[in-house]
A and B are shown apart, each in its own frame.
Chain A
């Protein structure tokens, strides 16, 4: 038997250890190839037009996948080597030299990596067109996708996976060369000693809860108004999560193990002892998985939330279908002439707003700034045309409503503050009775505005020159989504100083950006699930092999197979479930400020995303459980 046929045999026999690795690395190659080919695809670049800069998202994503795949391959390889040390020792005992063993491992690695690489590239080639079409659908681009083989992508993937192959070959050779025969034989016996729990664990466990709790508190209460604290919040939650796994869960297992009254009840004794013994070796993996899952879930909710809410967001950012600033009769004529040529488009509302410029002390920051002033009736009229539920009712002449643009949620502390509007020759002392940040015209052109009673507005208006007024004309059209050609024509007619802003443009660009983000999010999400799932699968299979004797003993003394299955499913449920639960809670908390920042409710996206993730993750749990039970129940 040659080394090559032996290697092939080994791979066939060990497929139960390799399949998870295969799926995950094949998917990495596939995603990487796809992304690199999209980056280099001329058609896609053409489609993006002036949004070409968002390609940088794909580049960042490709490097993320590359880094993650590299880590994953390295991690899996160390695992497989650890799992197979005894096998290598047997070969050497039977007279194989270390060099031959290393060569055997080299051939096996070559075959597995080459196989994963080729299937990934093959999938990439086959589905390239399909996924670019999917991307087009997501960004609502129309255009032909031609079948292309991207040499750049091929080159990038080859370099990455070639390098990884060299690294893991060197790594495994070192592992095999370094150890003596006896160490190789005993490697799997190196028992993971039970949990060490001391007073320090209690302190760290408390810190973890405190850190998570405070991080959550800041995220929910403060992050929306003060984005600068974001790094602190992230740090608190990440550290809290890691410490939660290292200490708090250890503590819970320890307490459960020490509480004899609760422990000596059925299979609980078995799985708590198993956890007590195994948890220490799993802590690192579990906390990394919890953190990465949190990141993946947050990123996906952010991307899909934006994608799902593009229309809402664009309506929010551009409440008018079309608006321009300081239009005169001529501008209005251009508009009317253009619309006449487009029968499909009609005007539902036309609103002209005349803002007055005044100086005042900024009620938020105390600086001296220029503000706009608008009358109450116009403001309410515009809002009702835009189907916004903002309606104000100023009771006294000294009352005013403050439209602010500062943060993600309006700062209510300004209510009750006095403001002095400085006009050319008279000052107006007003009191802010309400505030809000619902945009009533395009955000791009909005400024903090005071809404005053019509009588006050007229008074101010009469005292200042017409030149310092700011006029905005807004239109609401019957159907924005068929206005593409109209807007194209309008753009070429209206001079740039009138700052033409349209809902449709914002919506179109939003779709491109968020469509791409969701597309990337989809791949990263799947990659994270397959990789984290595989990592737990590896670990558990290895533990099952090591623990087989324990379960044989249990069966000999009269523990039935269903009882063993029950104990194992509970043990794995805790190991699999803890990171998912913690990640879900983290994500839930993160969704609150994320939703505030985006300006809409993303609970629906949050629930769907967590459910989908949990379902896919459960598949890994069930597969792992089945394999674990099969391993421990085999051979009496």
Chain B
């Protein structure tokens, strides 16, 4: 490990999310007493069976959903206290998103999709151009930038989405099942890209996945079960193959969706 100064990007304290309390119906605790720290430059996977609270967790840290109690600090800012339109601005400038179904706008070319967050922040044209150039080369999509989403493959779409997430150099990239809609070859390409961005650009990436193979690209894996942190493991110096076996073992204990790994 390098000798750079670790700074906290994400700090979660006593996070709780309870559904249904507002209308007096049956209460359901989706997240219970979560405490978590993510350092700058980490590549973290969040895993857990369906209904474990993964999506709620991601929604809360992506400012789309509000927690019932507890605090979520991103770069020291408590996002639970932010209100619109600052929230949108925060989302656009500090966070990058990659979704399972790409969420690219089919009215725009890949290039336009990628530069959208910068354009909205009214970045100078020169900056936009340089950053676009840089990121598209890294993700290997610089020769298809003028194509529309419906003209390219799923893998290319997802790499364009990753480029859109990264172009603002966000504090944190949140990826929700990014390989969910991809074939294995495209998945590998994408994961290599993410790993590369994490290594070279020191991008902090948090990825929710139920795919152990995808998770094995990360440096650290957090398991959630029934809304609580269940376990966490680090890759350390292990090879990816060993790490993968390690993940499978834990998943078999918590009853994860290992069936789709075969």
Q: Residues of A at under 8 Å CB distance from B?
A: 191, 194, 260-261, 263-270, 273-274, 276-278, 550, 553-563, 636
**Cβ 8 A contact of A560, one of B84, B103, B112, B116:** B84
Interface centre among B93, B103, B112, B120 (most CB of A within 10 A): B120
B221 interface residue per 8 A CB criterion:
no
Is there contact, CB below 8 Å, between A273 and B108? yes
Name the A residues within 8 Å of B97 (CB-CB). 556-557
Q: How far is the CB of A550 from chain B (nearest CB, A)?
A: 5
Name the A residues within 8 Å of B85 (CB-CB). 560-563
Chain B: number of interface residues, binned into ranges: 20 to 34
Is there contact, CB below 8 Å, between B88 and A558? yes
Is there contact, CB below 8 Å, between B125 and A559? no
Is there contact, CB below 8 Å, between B106 and A191? yes
Is there contact, CB below 8 Å, between A267 and B107? no
Name the A residues within 8 Å of B99 (CB-CB). 556
Residue on B nearest A563 in the bound complex, by CB = B120
Q: How many Å lie between the Cα of A563 and that of B118 in the bound state?
A: 14
Q: Is the interface of B mostly helix, strand, loop or mixed?
A: helix
Name the A residues within 8 Å of B88 (CB-CB). 555, 558-561, 563
Is there contact, CB below 8 Å, between A276 and B93? no
B210 interface residue per 8 A CB criterion:
no
Name the B residues within 8 Å of A260 (CB-CB). 125
Provide 17 A-B residue pairs closer than 8 Å at the C-beta atoms, listed in order of the A residue: A263-B112, A265-B122, A268-B119, A273-B112, A550-B106, A554-B105, A557-B97, A557-B117, A557-B164, A558-B88, A558-B93, A558-B117, A559-B92, A560-B87, A560-B89, A562-B85, A563-B120
B91 interface residue per 8 A CB criterion:
yes
Is there contact, CB below 8 Å, between A550 and B107? yes
Is there contact, CB below 8 Å, between B92 and A557? yes
Q: How many Å lie between the Cα of A277 and that of B112 in the bound state?
A: 13
Name the A residues within 8 Å of B106 (CB-CB). 191, 277, 550
0/1 string, B117-147, CB within 8 A of A gives 1: 1111010010010000000000000000000
Residue on B nearest A561 in the bound complex, by CB = B84
Interface centre among A264, A268, A277, A555 (most CB of B within 10 A): A264
B212 interface residue per 8 A CB criterion:
no
Residue on B nearest A549 in the bound complex, by CB = B103
Residue on A nearest B91 in the bound complex, by CB = A558
Q: How far is the CB of B164 from chain A (nearest CB, A)?
A: 7
Q: How far is the CB of B29 from chain A (nearest CB, A)?
A: 22
Is there contact, CB below 8 Å, between B107 and A557? no
Is there contact, CB below 8 Å, between A266 and B64? no
Is there contact, CB below 8 Å, between A558 and B112? no
Residue on A nearest B65 in the bound complex, by CB = A636
Is there contact, CB below 8 Å, between B105 and A273? yes
Is there contact, CB below 8 Å, between B119 and A264? yes
Name the B residues within 8 Å of A556 (CB-CB). 64, 97, 99, 103
Interface centre among B90, B116, B117, B122 (most CB of A within 10 A): B116
